[in-house]
Amino acid sequence: MQINHASLIPLHKQIEDLIRELVESGKYDGGKLLPKEEELARRFGVSRNTVRQGIYKLVLEGLLIRKKGVGTQIAPKTITTHLDEWHSFTQEMTRRGVSLKNYLVKVSKEGADTVLAEAFQIDKDTQLIKLERLRGDDKAPFVYFISWFHPRLGLTGEENFHRPLYQLLEQDLSVFPSRSSEELKAVAADAVVARHLNIQEGSPVLYRKRLVYDAGNRSIEYNIGFYRGDKFTYSIDIKRNT
């Protein structure tokens, strides 16, 4: 934790790099407060403004959180996924080095309500396979999925749903998901979602509704997901047409 005052590298950049190393070391995980600006200024032999400048870049990057009257903490680690390309959830997480664990896999049958009947263009009360999955990493669950499937797929409910879902559809049923229509919004966790995700009822969660289509543009899956708000960030790339 020393900086070189004779270096051509700006002092605030040296401080930024040193604090970045602290963040990556894991020493301040779990909500521990980083040293105060005054302490860092004395340690580095610089002004508080120089320290603040070094910290500010890390705050902008989302690595640190500054709370007035409390101090500076490492921001909770989140998983960023992109909406500009098609991926199954397993593919999304695998690409980001997250090893998934199933905490719950439950299969049942349920009659289609008005929303499902419209989405699948079927009669109301038609029996559908319903799949509930609670998924996360080796530490805790962070997403709760509920899926319903069009009856034309021929699912019986006896399939091995511990496998990646779209792998099962493709390999066992020759059904190939090709696109999805999605809706994202922030909602408050109800009692069921809160219990599954180990959060307080009313906590903010990311709600994602996905209607999946096959290559013939026929709906095959209606899926809703509830993501822990402190674990997920979604980014969207928008390109301007010139």
Q: What does the pLDDT look like over 139-198, one tens digit per residue?
A: 889 899 999 999 999 999 999 999 888 889 999 999 988 888 888 888 899 999 999 999
Q: Which residues pair with 111 in a beta bridge?
A: 127
Domain locations along the chain? 11-74, 79-235
Q: Would the pTM count as exceeding 0.75?
A: no
Domain over 79-235 is classified CATH 3.40.1410.10:
yes
pLDDT at 74: 82
* High-pLDDT (> 70) share of the chain, %: 85
Q: What is the pLDDT of residues 41-85, one digit of tens each?
A: 998 899 989 988 888 878 877 778 887 778 888 876 554 444 444
- Please identify, in words, the CATH class of the domain defined by 11-74: mainly alpha
Distance in angstroms (rounded) separating the CA atoms of residues 239 and 242: 9
Could you tell me whether strands 204-214 and 71-74 are parallel, antiparallel, or unpaired per DSSP bridges?
unpaired
* pLDDT of 101 strictly over 70: yes
